Amino acid sequence: MQSQWRYWKPYISPFDPCPPQEVKRYVVPVNQYVVFQAPGLPQYSPFKALKRGTLWPSLYSPYDGRGDQGVGEVCE
């Protein structure tokens, strides 16, 4: 399976007063890779499935909590 993260380089204007973010990233949902759910796939226990948000380990996508750094900050 490919990595869930995609990277891109946004246009950086020479007139932008804020420090640029040279590389940005986004996550592609795992369900884009799994076309159908075959019978007999491994499953999490009910408690673990509720914590992870999915019953199937192949559809689990961990959240790293990084977010989009710099969003909401005001540059001077």
Over range 9-15, report the average pLDDT: 92
Q: Can you give the pLDDT at residue 65?
A: 63
pLDDT band at residue 12 using 50, 70 and 90 as cut-offs: very high
State phi, psi for 26 to the nearest 5 degrees. -145, 160
Q: Where are the domains of the chain?
A: 5-59
CB contact at 8 A, 1 and 28: no
Of residues 65 and 37, the one with the higher pLDDT is 37
State the DSSP string of 12-67.
--TT--SPP---EEEE--GGGT--S--TT-----HHHHHHHT-S-GGG-----S--
Q: Can you give the pLDDT at residue 66?
A: 60
Q: What value does the mean pLDDT of the chain take?
A: 79
Over range 31-45, report the average pLDDT: 82
Give the type of residue at 63: Y
